[in-house]
Amino acid sequence: MTSVSATRDAAWKRWVIGLALPLLLLAVWQIVGTTLQGPRMPVPTKVVAAAGIMIASGDLPMAILQSLGRVFAGFMVAAIIAIPLGLAMGQSRAVERNVDPLVETFRPVAAIAILPLAILWLGTGTAAAVMIVAYAAFFPLIVNTVAGAKNVNPTLLHAAATMGISRLTTIRTVVVPAALPSIFVGLRIALAVGWTAIVAAELAVGAKAGGGGSGGIGQMMFIFYAYSIELNRIIVCMIAVGLIALVLDRMLRALMRASMPWEHA
Amino acid sequence: MTLATKLQIANVTKRFSVGGAQDTIAVDDLTLDIRAGEFLVIVGPSGCGKTTVLNMLAGLDSPSSGTVAIDGRAITAPGPDRGVMFQDYALYPWQTVWGNVEFGLRYGPAGDGLDAAAREQRVRRTIDLVGLKGSERKYPNQLSGGMRQRTALARLMANEPDVLLMDEPLAALDAQTRIILQDELLRIWGQDRPQSERRTVVFITHAIDEAVFLADRVAVMTSHPGRLKALIDIPLARPRGDATRALPEFQALTQHIWSLIRDEAYRATVT
């Protein structure tokens, strides 16, 4: 019993210690914000109030849903291209030699840097946003898939070969499950950078379109910045972006756990 | 009764180049015929090229010169006629015991012509045969070393290959488990059936008593470079069991083989 309550005590202490710094910073922010008062000075209590209004009106949930839809679409496009291509690169030297220089040339070009292309080709709506997310998500996904497909224990491949299993079936039944942990690392990074890219793209498209109808949480931030300097609301958007990234990552981790039961059996 | 040659190793030399400098000769001019239905054990100190020989028979490696053949046809690639049991078992961690045993039947040519029911029956029978009943749903990381070994053996047996190639399959086990599994291995192989109905086995070990207990013939190899030093008939009656291990002939054969590799084993330990 003592040991159980001792560990419970320890868990409590960890929580308190973990929350101490954020709470302290919040308190400092609150004090500084109220003393300096002004339109450009957000204050925690006002941020909370603004969040309440934005959620109640449905504006914030709507913007988030719009952005999330784009992220998922772009993320899926990236996964459908990057995972099979990465597996092929990891298992075939010829494919890797051909594709790798292309990937490595474009990888340093930031997603936001292809925005001009995306807008000129696809306009300022959802299609351009999806393209930017897909572009951003593609690189971490392919790099990690290649690494996973390359690092398959060769004996596992030999075992499949000695059972006469065809190469394509071996990729499906041996390479994919063996590479799954790496692929999931890629998916998690891809989802994070995709989410980052969508906010940036919506902000920028909002700027170009003068606050036109492209929507999403990034554009919402742009409107609060350019038309009605509402810093508290911008802070609400920032926090929402962070929290949603956290939730998305946790969901992906849960999916990873569910799809690899052997890892924690 | 003379039995047909199943596997043929003719003047095989295998060199590995290490960093472009002097080549290492793993196997030097090895000639060995393995008969159909025979249990042949290759024994020798580490570095004698045993695993290289097995890999060449499996088609996972090719000789630098000379030929390896099965039923008179040159071996150029792995094939389902030659099943391999790897030293580290090579079980698929994401498959359960059942999934591992079923793997070759489900995804490979070994399962051609079997419908789902027949496949399930084969897997069921093989799992029971190796004594894994009740563990079908476990993953390899939930199994003891002995159970992993049984799973790998079941996977090999379920595919019903003509030839079983086994690379130190019992090396990682403790002494008791090892003796039990030696007995089981002979039972599963079918040592109480006539030799014409048995499968051909090439088994690698560094344990001399294990070699004598299992083998019809023992090929003794020496290292640096790997050469065949002696080919010894083991005329002990089958079926073999605990009584076999107590026979004076068993002791004498073990002593004899030990005397053949003793000097080299000592040298390897000292240097």
Dihedral in degrees, nearest 10, Cα atoms B216, B222, B227, B233? -20
- Cα separation, B219 vs B201, whole angstroms: 13
Give the model's pLDDT for residue A205: 74
CA-CA distance, B71 to B64, in Å (whole number)? 21
CB contact under 8 A, A265 and B142: yes
Is B86 within a domain? no
Higher pLDDT, B258 or A123: B258
Instruction: Write the CA distances from A204 to A118, A138, A154, A240, integer angstroms.
Output: 12, 21, 47, 19
pLDDT higher than 80, residue A3: no
Q: Do B21 and B106 share a domain, yes or no?
A: no
Cα gap A44→A121, rounded to integer Å: 42
Compare all CA atoms of chain A with the CA of B99 and give the residue at the minimum distance: A173
> How many domains does chain B contain in total?
2
Our CA-based measurement puts residue A139 at a distance from the nearest CA of chain B, in whole angstroms, of 27
Token pair, residue B6, equals: 């199943």
DSSP category for residue A110? -
Q: What is the predicted pLDDT for the residue at A210?
A: 46
Please give the pLDDT value at position A213: 55
pLDDT on residue A111: 87
The 3-state DSSP class for residue B248 equals helix
pLDDT for the residue B44: 85
pLDDT at residue B244 in the model: 94
Identify the domain boundary among B131, B161, B191. B161
CA distances (Å), origin A239, targets A50, A53, A142, A189, A221: 12, 15, 30, 19, 12
The whole domain housing B156 covers 91-161
Distance between CA atoms of A121 and A117, rounded to whole angstroms?
Answer: 6
Do both B174 and B248 map to the same domain? yes
pLDDT tens digits, A20-29: 888 999 999 9
Please report which helix (H) or strand (E) contains residue B82, including its range: strand B82-85
Question: Do B173 and B152 share a domain, yes or no?
Answer: no
Of B58, B77, B90, the CB nearest to A156: B90
ipTM value: 0.88
pLDDT less than 70: residues of chain B = 1-3, 19-21, 268, 270-271
> Do B45 and B148 share a domain, yes or no?
no
Please indicate, yes or no, whether residues B152 and B214 belong to a single structural domain of this protein: no
pLDDT at A1 over 80: no
Same domain, B153 and B168: no
- CB burial of A50-78 (b: ≥16 within 10 Å; e: otherwise) equals bbeebeeeeebeebbebbbbbbebbbebb
| Ramachandran angles phi, psi of A31, nearest 5° | -65, -50
Tell me whether residues A262 and B78 touch, CB distance under 8 A.
no
Judgement on whether residues B114 and B156 belong to the same structural domain of the protein = yes
Same domain, B172 and B264: yes
Any idea how long chain B is? 271
* Burial class of B221 by CB neighbour count within 10 A (0 to 12, 13 to 18, 19+): buried
Q: A153, A155, A163: which to substitute to probe chain B, counting the most B Cβ within 10 Å?
A: A163
* A163 closest CB neighbour out of B77, B108, B139: B108
**Does residue B197 share a domain with residue B155?**
no
Identify the burial level of B235 via C-beta atoms within 10 angstroms of its C-beta, where 0-12 means exposed, 13-18 middle and 19 or more buried. Answer: exposed
Whether residues B159 and A163 touch (CB distance < 8 A) is answered with: yes
Rounded to 10 degrees, the C-alpha dihedral A137/A139/A140/A145 comes to 110
Q: Does residue B210 sit in the same domain as residue B112? A: no
Residue A13: its pLDDT value, please?
83
The reply to whether B192 and B73 lie within a common domain is yes
- pLDDT surpasses 70 at A209: no
pLDDT score of A230: 85
Of A69-83, A213-227, B162-176, the least confident = A213-227
Sequence-separated (6 or more) residues with CB below 8 Å from residue B206: B43, B44, B45, B46, B168, B171
Q: Which of A156, A162, A180, A264 to mutate to test the interface with B (most CBs of B within 10 A)?
A: A162
Average pLDDT, chain A: 89
- Segment A37-48 shows an average pLDDT of 85
Nearest-Cα distance to chain A for B107, in Å, is 6
- pLDDT over 60 at A198, yes or no: yes
